[in-house]
Structure 1
Amino acid sequence: MQSPVEHGEKSPNQQQPEPITHGDDAAISTPSPPNTNTTTPPIAPAAVESHPQAAEIIRQVEYYFSDDNLPHDAHLLSKTGPSGQEWVSLNEILSWKKMRSFKPPARVKASLCQSEKLEVWKNKFIRRKEPLKVPTREDPKKARNKELVEKPWLTKNFLKPTGFEKNFVDIVTPTEYEQERTLFDPDESFTSRMDSAVARYMSKRKIHQLTLQIFSKFLTFGGFSSGPHQFTGGLTEQDMKEMELDREQVVLMKSPFAVSSAVIDGIDPEDGEVTWVVDFEGMAKAFLSSHFMAHFDWQDAKIVESTTNILCNFYNYLLVHDVCPEYKQQIMKARQVCEMADQEFKTLAQANKHLPGNFNIACSTRCGGRYASIRPADPGADWVLEGDTIGLSDEDALHVFTTGIFAHGSEECLNNLQKVMKQELQLAVISEEEMGLEVVRVEECAGQAEVIYSSDQVKGTVIKPTGKLHCIRWDLPHRAPKDLPKSVIAEQKAKIGEKYEFLVEDEVLQYCYPGLKLEGIVKELNIGVKWIDSIEYVYPSFHTWTLNEPFRDWKEPGPPKAWMLRQMEKNNGVGGQVVIREPEEDIPD
């Protein structure tokens, strides 16, 4: 609600009356509101009684200054200021339409002094007690012009609503809903409904380049094929006009995406078994945890937010338009996966940045691992930037390594370390293996280890408190098969679930959580210490691998060429017999 502007009246916050003085000893001045920063208690003349309708009066004026009304009342907000705590003339408030019926003014003002949310000064001015908590409304046109000034490469069309705004909701009228029943009839095949849904969805969205890249990757990963005008069959615009097609038919024919024939045959096979299944939740997990991470900068929070927003926007469309009600629960779970990814990718990016931690880097440096070749020879070099992970010097690596062993090592490990320091034993790597790891528990520095790390000799150095990262061996589902003996493969499979403990700094452990998956190289020393030499990839807790990964690159082979047939005959023979070609006879001239 907006209050009326009375012409000819000026706000006391905009123009204060100048005092009128006569002589040096006497001065007569008109009253002005107190300083806004002061907390003057409400003042009401004791002789004036409250109005009989005091409760109604207080409720109405409190509404004028409330969080619900004030941000949208341009006139009143101009007087109270953005904080809502500038003084406003009481006479102006009483002159508004809904306040004119309350008489006399003196009793109305006395009633307002009883308000718990407003304060009155000398029966002349009024304001809120608490600052305005709701942000003021910004004019969309002014916001657009401001963005165009800050980003001159943008166009006005680029700033128009796209349909991908946060919390965007499709509005479907009953008439539109009934019209869509012919397209999304449950009796129609699932693939046919999805074709229509994707075509209509894209026709109702303004899709920019990044949005199209993300959405097209998602669709093709989920079993769609892409190409210009999938359903036109070579028809031109003129052909479609002459055929007098309705709008829905034209939208479908112009769609750049269609469910691939392999998926159609696999979901609804005429004969044979089903080879494809519908799994919205599984596809959301698989796409976000593998395909998306491989093709986009998943460590950029804005790209992650854009991706999950696009997926949720599409899922909401399927729900609102009732495209496939039989999969409603799956779609809702897929939205939950997007919400999980929004939060988890932020932590995962930090884990990827800080792992494996200084203790593991120290082990790698001292034992000829990956970080041995990138330790800083000259930390003051121009090419060394703050924040660069450039390993540790030999001296720092030795201190970090020995302190970690003294803090957490077993008695046998400590005895072996003593032998190494006395040069009675040479440090040696006895095993090295590339493996997957899944975090099951995080244990921060405590007990005797905490005492060692808090000592004066350690404080303020490169040595940081370490805890334990408890992991189990995780079978990498996407790993290419290796040409190994069956006995070795069986032995490796038997190790799945094997427990491991690694020393990792507390400042790194804060980014690790149960379910986090790692792919890296684990080594073991002859003194009984295992460490992570390097981290190749990290994966979220919902990481899922599907056959969609290799299927994307699958091409249906065509008929064999002539040279292939000749080679097959040569290798396999004809009718079980090896073909031996006789030398051709010389042809006389």
Structure 2
Amino acid sequence: MSAIDDIVDQLDSLTTADPPSSASVEKNTTAPTQPVGAPADDDAAATVGAAIKKKKKKGGRKKGKTLPTGFETNFTEAPLTPDEFSKDKELYDLNKGVAERIEVAVQRYKAKRKFNDIRHRLLEAYLFLGGINTGAKMFGGVDNKFVKDHDAEDIARYKATDYVPDKMHRIRLQEQDDELDGDDEDEEYAIDFNYIVRAFLTDRIPFAFGLKKPEDIEMSVNLIRNFLNFILYHNVCPEFTDNIKLAIKTCELAGDELPICAVLSDKLPGSFNKACSTLFGGYWSLIIPQPWAPGEEKENSNLEPGLTREEAQKIYESLVHELPHVDATVPLDKVTEIAKEWAALEVTGTWLPEPGSPLKLGKIICKPWTQEDTKPIVSRWDNVEGGVSLWCEKTVAQYAYVGMHLCCAVHELTNGLVYFDEISGVMCSQYLEIIDEKDLDVNSDYDFD
């Protein structure tokens, strides 16, 4: 039974109760709180009235807790009234600079949403990455004379805590690069919503902030998409509409890919590659579990992450025969390493055994990859037809998809085996890291645990 039904039942019981007995009436009339000569019926009515008033007050407090935050899954902006539309045209007049319009939009957006602590910090980091400073403006205070000489909009702008630095007020379209006059002494800043969204969602969210749970990823993506939709809905920057829509598509793609990357990151490199690494001097050979002391029990809570050589050899010998072009007859102590490369790779395809097949391993097919806006990295796999094939359990390989990026150490052995370990990153297809940050240095002291 709901709280409302409970209240109704209580009221019904009060209003339908039998009239009080004469004894109770006499008792009530002698009560100190009863006015002299007040009838018993009036006393009952007062009691009912007090009960009704008390229940309504309690219900009012509860109702306040269900107010929308503006981040609900199905949340949509309410249609603009004529007055609101006129106000938007005034606030975001195209005669004003882009920086000024964005400052106003950020303040209004914050005022129209209910933020929890994590959303607030994520939005601050996103805005800061995009060049919007957070904090009181230098010389941004207002005095009585300023209040008298300026309207409410000017006062709000000067008191704003999120603002575009003065040096960045010369903002241009990204497409205007080729049209710039080389003799212009004033530096201009390009604005690219999609560029910042890519860097924030594909790099900062999983790596700087360590948000990898599906619900955390969904919250982060929804926050940025919500802000971009606000910018579009209020027509803040109509000259960047196409770029903002592209950024929203990036949000959708990141929302689909980031959870998959998080799962694969936890599963790689798989038991087979751990075994190879343990046997042939790779990363996992350095963390072989130590023998247990006599009489000491081996508890599951104290298990070490590595494999013993016996465990590694058993896994290797049970699976190596599935790999083509690998000579499984060569004794383990005769196998040596030909080359090791720290590789940045892009997934170009996958191969998995047919359903019902007894084969245990699948294959992730990759090619060398260089992040955009960086110098090409020379790789031993550059001219290898078909790139490099990374074999691992099919239950692991099934999560890889075309366009995904991997950073790992790739080892090549004399028996033809290629294995990989030391996974430093599993990134989505539109991964972007802003390397030259200078003035856009995001505070790394965020703790979302």
Match of 1:532 among 420, 436, 439: 420
Q: Distance in 2 between matches of 1:494 and 1:401?
A: 25
Tell me, yes or no, if structure 1 residue 366 matches structure 2 residue 279.
Answer: yes
How far apart are residue 337 of structure 1 and its match?
Answer: 1.5
- Structure 2: segments with no counterpart, 5+ residues: 1-57, 174-179, 443-449
Partner of 2:401: 513
- AA matched with 2:226: N
> What secondary structure, in the 3-state scheme, does the structure 2 residue paired with 1:418 have?
coil
How far apart are residue 315 of structure 1 and its match?
Answer: 1.0
Q: Distance in 1 between matches of 2:126 and 2:411?
A: 38
Is this contact kept in 2: 1:438–1:518, CA < 8 A?
Answer: yes
Partner of 1:200: 108
How far apart are residue 244 of structure 1 and its match?
Answer: 6.1
Aligned residues between the structures:
372
Tell me the alpha carbon deviations over residues 543-569 of structure 1, each in whole angstroms, 9 at most, x when there is no partner: 123456454249xxxxxxxxxxxxxxx
- AA matched with 1:211: R
Partner of 2:382: 495
How far apart are residue 351 of structure 1 and its match?
Answer: 0.3
Partner of 1:288: 201
The structure with more helix, counted as a fraction of residues:
2
> What secondary structure, in the 3-state scheme, does the structure 1 residue paired with 2:91 have?
coil
- In the TM superposition, 1:78-89 aligns within 5 A as none
Question: Identity of paired residues, percent?
Answer: 27
- In the TM superposition, 1:31-430 aligns within 5 A as 160-171=67-78, 172-228=80-136, 230=137, 233-236=140-143, 242-243=147-148, 245-265=150-170, 267=172, 271-272=184-185, 276-377=189-290, 384-385=300-301, 390-410=305-325, 413-414=326-327, 417-420=328-331, 426-430=334-338
Tell me the alpha carbon deviations over residues 180-216 of structure 1, each in whole angstroms, 9 at most, x when there is no partner: 2122122322222112211222222233321110001
- AA matched with 1:243: K
Sort the Cα spacing of 1:492 and 1:344 in 2 relative to 1 into closer, same or farther, 3 A. Answer: closer
Return the TM-score normalized by structure 1.
0.57
Sort the Cα spacing of 1:495 and 1:542 in 2 relative to 1 into closer, same or farther, 3 A. Answer: same
Report which structure shows greater RCO (CA 8 Å, sep ≥6).
2
Q: Distance in 2 between matches of 1:354 and 1:490?
A: 27
Q: Distance in 2 between matches of 1:545 and 1:340?
A: 17
Return the TM-score normalized by structure 2.
0.73
> What secondary structure, in the 3-state scheme, does the structure 1 residue paired with 2:347 have?
strand
Tell me, yes or no, if structure 1 residue 475 matches structure 2 residue 375.
Answer: no
- AA matched with 1:510: Q
Match of 2:350 among 431, 438, 442: 442
Structure possessing the higher radius of gyration over alpha carbons: 1
Partner of 1:552: 440
Sort the Cα spacing of 1:182 and 1:232 in 2 relative to 1 into closer, same or farther, 3 A. Answer: farther
> What secondary structure, in the 3-state scheme, does the structure 2 residue paired with 1:445 have?
coil
Sort the Cα spacing of 1:174 and 1:233 in 2 relative to 1 into closer, same or farther, 3 A. Answer: same
Match of 1:541 among 426, 429, 439: 429
Is this contact kept in 2: 1:478–1:545, CA < 8 A?
Answer: no
- AA matched with 2:361: T
- AA matched with 1:192: E
Sort the Cα spacing of 1:384 and 1:273 in 2 relative to 1 into closer, same or farther, 3 A. Answer: farther
> What secondary structure, in the 3-state scheme, does the structure 2 residue paired with 1:436 have?
strand
Q: Distance in 1 between matches of 2:150 and 2:66?
A: 33
- AA matched with 1:183: L
- Structure 1: segments with no counterpart, 5+ residues: 1-140, 146-155, 454-464, 482-488, 555-589
Sort the Cα spacing of 1:179 and 1:528 in 2 relative to 1 into closer, same or farther, 3 A. Answer: same
